[in-house]
Chains A and B, each alone.
Chain A
Amino acid sequence: MTVHAERKQLVAPGELLAEGPYFAGENTYREAGKIFSSRIGLADLIGNKIIVVPIKGAYIPRLDDLVLGRISDIGMSGWQVDICAPYPAMLPLSETPMHRGREGGRRDLSQILTVGDLVLAQVIAFDRTRDPLLTTKGRGLGKMTSGRVARISPAKIPRIIGKKGSMITMLKKETGTDIIAGQNGVIMATGRNPDQERVAVEAIYMIEREAHTRGLTDRVKAMIQEAMKGKTVAQ
């Protein structure tokens, strides 16, 4: 029973992680009693399970994920939503709070949401045989009306949120904006003025670029404070 990779070691596809009775977790696979990495990422051991935390990769929807998507088409009974995944998502009329008493049909639907609108939705179904299904029946879900959008790699979203929400809480507090981070890598920052939103978005891109460096939280905080200071002084 041997673990070959150190915890938090950077591993490449095909790299040997462990031998023996471990479980092959996410982004690993088992072959001839050995466990190998399938993606570039950081190896970790959780109890008896070997996993690799990926550094990059496409967004693959999971049940209950919150996602920010763009309406890309309107059908007879719902909308097609681009959630930056390899699969277009569907938002049926019946999964929106406005569906009561509506007959459906393109003209009716376009009164609620049109092509180009940005929506915050939740994934309610997704499997190998069909495209993801969304709902906007839920608190805070629905059409986004103002704010600035940032698009980053979905693998970096956990870093934006931080452990127990520490990073995103700091971002909101320091920039005075409300920040919604979709699991699919799309983030909205809404503030009272566009300057706050711009600083929030810059901070988000900074975190994405420097996700794997020391003392990031402090540096981002310092950057925001500098930027926000500049704005108030000018006014």
Chain B
Amino acid sequence: MSATRQFSPVAKLEQKTVVDLIQKGKRLDERGALDYRPLTIMLGTVEKANGSAYVYLGKTKVLVGIKVETGTPFPDTPDEGILTVNAEFVPMASPTFEAGPPDENSIELARVVDRGIRESKAIDLKKLCIDPGKKVFMVFVDVYVLDHDGNLIDAAAMAALGALVDAKMREFEVKNGELKYKDKMVPLPLLNHPVSITSSKIDGTIVIDPCLEEEQVMSCRLTVTTDKNDMVCAMQKGGLGVFTPDEIKQTVSISIGKARELREKILSKVN
């Protein structure tokens, strides 16, 4: 059951500062409305995982690890590998995170990141089939939020993309329905690079990549995920405020352009 949360732990005066600045076309940290905070991506930080990426987006820190293991396919997709995305809002990341099973926010984040990867067909799941109906590879994408300073969705999606690109698995072949591993490590069969862009609406103005103080003040947010062909593959509105259809169209348009920029940036850091 989803319930309204307590409102912001921040004084009204502090919220007013953010809004006043936005009205003047400024932001708390002097960024432009469409600017991302400084971005750092480190790959392969967890050697035992098949792939990993640690993202610093401003002060937000997210670590994604990927594990590839064998398992049974779903009955309706017997010849496809399985993608699972899970997110943990680690209690150390924020004074507001409590230990316990994933809450609605971490579940929403996991599912939005999942949708981006799945709908863009980023992983060629058919190439992960070992024995149709019996055995396939499962790709576990585990998102760990370690420090929360806003825009966890984009940081998580970037880290997921980085981890996917970083990931290696044993090269395999299927002989007479039997799985045989070869000696070489090969990358995952990737077909696409989804990028999510989150915009927040503050006092009627749309700003991209909200930091924590901006999230505490915003009325709502819109995450738009696009693939490398500029196709929109996932979208999610969050928060209690509302968007007009025009605002959404405008935001989508901006997001497509921004995603191109960000994709280039991520992939260049990754190579």
Residues of A128-143 contacting chain B, CB below 8 A: none
> B21, A194: Cβ atoms under 8 Å?
yes
When C-beta atoms are compared, the residue in chain B nearest to A68 turns out to be: B11
Interface code B4-45, partner A: CB below 8 Å = 1, 0 otherwise? 000111111111010011001000000000000000000000
> A82, B9: Cβ atoms under 8 Å?
yes
Contacting residues, chain B, for A106 (C-beta < 8 A)? none
> A146, B13: Cβ atoms under 8 Å?
yes
Interface membership of A156, Cβ < 8 A: no
Contacting residues, chain B, for A72 (C-beta < 8 A)? 9
Interface size class of A (residues with CB under 8 A): 10 to 19
Residues of A22-66 contacting chain B, CB below 8 A: none
Residues of B69-115 contacting chain A, CB below 8 A: none
The tally of CB-CB contacts under 8 A between chains A and B is 31
Bound complex: CA A118 to CA B24 (Å): 23
Contacting residues, chain B, for A146 (C-beta < 8 A)? 13
What's the minimum C-beta distance from A194 to chain B, rounded to whole angstroms? 6
Bound complex: CA A168 to CA B225 (Å): 48
Contact of B12 among A82, A116, A148 (CB under 8 A): A116
Contacting residues, chain B, for A117 (C-beta < 8 A)? 11-13
Interface membership of A147, Cβ < 8 A: yes
> A116, B21: Cβ atoms under 8 Å?
no
> A147, B13: Cβ atoms under 8 Å?
yes
Interface size class of B (residues with CB under 8 A): 10 to 19
> A149, B13: Cβ atoms under 8 Å?
yes
Interface membership of A144, Cβ < 8 A: yes
Contacting residues, chain A, for B15 (C-beta < 8 A)? 116
> B12, A118: Cβ atoms under 8 Å?
yes
What's the minimum C-beta distance from B4 to chain A, rounded to whole angstroms? 15
> A144, B21: Cβ atoms under 8 Å?
no
Bound complex: CA A155 to CA B13 (Å): 24
Bound complex: CA A124 to CA B12 (Å): 25
Bound complex: CA A70 to CA B10 (Å): 8
What's the minimum C-beta distance from B219 to chain A, rounded to whole angstroms? 16
What's the minimum C-beta distance from B226 to chain A, rounded to whole angstroms? 35
> B14, A194: Cβ atoms under 8 Å?
no
Contacting residues, chain B, for A194 (C-beta < 8 A)? 17, 20-21, 24
Bound complex: CA A194 to CA B12 (Å): 16
Residues of B128-172 contacting chain A, CB below 8 A: none
Interface centre among B14, B15, B20 (most CB of A within 10 A): B14
Bound complex: CA A117 to CA B17 (Å): 13
Contacting residues, chain A, for B12 (C-beta < 8 A)? 116-118
Interface code A146-170, partner B: CB below 8 Å = 1, 0 otherwise? 1111000000000000000000000
> A116, B11: Cβ atoms under 8 Å?
yes
Bound complex: CA A115 to CA B15 (Å): 13
> B17, A148: Cβ atoms under 8 Å?
yes
Bound complex: CA A118 to CA B14 (Å): 9
Contacting residues, chain A, for B11 (C-beta < 8 A)? 70, 116-118, 149
When C-beta atoms are compared, the residue in chain B nearest to A186 turns out to be: B11
> B13, A144: Cβ atoms under 8 Å?
yes
Bound complex: CA A126 to CA B218 (Å): 37
Contacting residues, chain A, for B24 (C-beta < 8 A)? 194
When C-beta atoms are compared, the residue in chain A nearest to B20 turns out to be: A194
When C-beta atoms are compared, the residue in chain A nearest to B12 turns out to be: A116
> B9, A149: Cβ atoms under 8 Å?
no
What's the minimum C-beta distance from A117 to chain B, rounded to whole angstroms? 6
What's the minimum C-beta distance from B16 to chain A, rounded to whole angstroms? 8
When C-beta atoms are compared, the residue in chain A nearest to B16 turns out to be: A146
When C-beta atoms are compared, the residue in chain B nearest to A71 turns out to be: B11
Interface code A110-129, partner B: CB below 8 Å = 1, 0 otherwise? 00000111100000000000
Given A116-B15, A147-B13, A149-B13, 10 more pairs with CB closer than 8 A: A116-B7, A116-B11, A116-B12, A117-B13, A118-B12, A118-B13, A144-B13, A145-B13, A149-B14, A194-B20
Chain A residues in contact with chain B, CB under 8 A?
Answer: 70, 72, 82, 115-118, 144-149, 194
6 smallest beta-carbon distances between A and B, as pairs: A116-B12, A118-B11, A70-B11, A149-B14, A118-B13, A148-B17
20 sample A-B contacts, Cβ–Cβ < 8 Å, listed by A number? A70-B10, A70-B11, A72-B9, A82-B9, A115-B7, A116-B8, A116-B11, A116-B15, A117-B11, A118-B11, A118-B12, A144-B13, A145-B13, A146-B13, A149-B11, A149-B13, A149-B14, A194-B17, A194-B20, A194-B24
